[in-house]
């Protein structure tokens, strides 16, 4: 580690950095798909139409397979998870004989439900006060590959700049979202820090751009490249900053 005189900006990954994502993703995946099958079949019944010939299990498996195929076929969209889900649902309904306009409408409705569930994350209890304090001294940005609604997530008010890298069609580790965030924050890489849990998507690209990087990773004692620090939990970030700025 090396002392830095003045740090201007800190960028944060969101999922598994400021909250644990596993539970919310599982609930969101199941919840929006069950909602679609139920609500769509109710809608069909009201029109005297039979229910879809799809069980939850088979339908979900087919939905996942369609997303994977679309991601490999339309490579520039591989990180745009909202687009992949929307198209996969639309295709699946059309494969069930649903007309295109109806399939589009219900795929979009299911994605509304997806986003409603996806923002129900629970930040680590220390994070709100931490960001509140950091905002007084640094310019902050969020950079995520996830397709969470950035203006609706519970910590949105702390981030004047928020980058949805997948929708930029340049998911991390692409340098574009980092450079975009730094440009918007009017900060240079050498005086900026990125905090994230992924070695490949957060730490390496930030470090290679010349940023400082803090790796959130519970265990490990391997040698780290210059400008990289490991902490077990984001609540330890003030210790890192205090050490560097003393
Ligand atoms: Mg993450």
Spatial distance between the Cα atoms of 173 and 187, rounded to a whole number of angstroms: 19
Domain with CATH 1.20.120 in the chain: 22-118
Ligand 1 mean position to 6 CA, how many Å?
A: 26
The predicted pLDDT at position 168 comes to 85
* R_g (Cα) of the chain, nearest Å: 21
Distance 169 CA to ligand 1 centre (A): 17
The pairing of beta strand 212-216 with beta strand 192-196: parallel
Q: How far is the CA of 17 from the centre of ligand 1 (A)?
A: 5
Q: Which of 135, 118, 110, 113 is nearest to 19 (CA)?
A: 118
Kindly give the parts of the chain with pLDDT less than 70.
1-5
User: Within 10 A of 244 (CB to CB), how many other CB atoms are there?
Assistant: 16
Q: Which residues contact 148 (CB under 8 A, 6 or more apart)?
A: 14, 15, 115, 118, 119, 121
Say how many Å lie between the CA of residue 13 and the centre of ligand 1.
6
Q: How far is CA 148 from CA 157, 163, 215, 221, 243, in A?
A: 15, 11, 22, 32, 33
Gap from CA of 18 to ligand 1 centroid (Å): 8
CATH of 9-20+122-245, one of 3.50.50.60, 3.30.1330.10, 3.20.20.140, 3.40.50.1000: 3.40.50.1000
State residue 74's pLDDT score.
Answer: 96
Which pLDDT score, from 0 to 100, does residue 243 have? 80
Domain with CATH 3.40.50.1000 in the chain: 9-20+122-245
Q: Note the pTM of the prediction, 2 decimals.
A: 0.90
Residue 144 CA to ligand 1 center (angstroms) comes to: 7
* Residue 198 CA, ligand 1 centroid: distance in Å: 6
Residues 135-181: tens digit of each pLDDT: 999 999 999 999 899 999 999 999 999 999 988 889 999 999 999 99
Question: For 213-236, how does the pLDDT look when each residue is reduced to its tens digit (9 = 90+)?
Answer: 999 999 888 899 999 999 999 999
Specify the CATH number for 22-118; select among 1.10.3470, 1.10.10, 1.20.120, 2.40.160.
Answer: 1.20.120
User: Vertex 217, ends 118 and 84: CA angle to 5°?
Assistant: 30
Question: What are residue 16's phi and psi, to 5 degrees?
Answer: 65, 15
- What pLDDT sits at residue 5? 61
């Amino acid at each position: 580690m090396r002392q830095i005189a003045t740090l201007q900006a800190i960028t944060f990954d969101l999922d598994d950095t400021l909250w644990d994502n596993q539970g919310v993703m599982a609930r969101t995946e199941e919840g929006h798909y069950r909602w679609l099958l139920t609500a769509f079949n109710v809608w069909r019944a009201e029109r005297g139409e039979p229910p879809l010939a799809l069980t939850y299990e088979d339908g979900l498996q087919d939905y996942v397979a369609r997303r994977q195929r679309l991601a490999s076929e339309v490579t520039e969209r591989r990180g745009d998870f909202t687009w992949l889900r929307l198209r996969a649902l639309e295709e699946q309904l059309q494969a069930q004989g649903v007309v295109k306009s109806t399939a589009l409408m219900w795929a979009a409705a299911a994605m509304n439900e997806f986003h409603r569930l996806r923002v129900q994350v629970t930040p680590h209890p220390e994070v709100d006060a931490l960001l509140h304090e950091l905002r007084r001294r640094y310019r902050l940005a969020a950079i995520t590959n996830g397709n969470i609604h950035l203006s609706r997530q519970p910590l949105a008010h702390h981030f004047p700049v928020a980058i949805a890298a997948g929708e930029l069609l340049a998911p991390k580790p692409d340098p574009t979202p980092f450079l975009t965030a730094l440009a918007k924050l009017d900060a240079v890489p050498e005086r900026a820090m990125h905090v994230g849990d992924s070695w490949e998507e957060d730490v390496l690209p930030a470090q290679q751009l010349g940023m400082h990087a803090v790796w959130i990773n519970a265990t490990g004692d391997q040698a780290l490249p210059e400008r990289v620090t490991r902490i077990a939990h984001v609540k330890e970030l003030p210790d890192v900053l205090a050490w560097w700025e003393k």
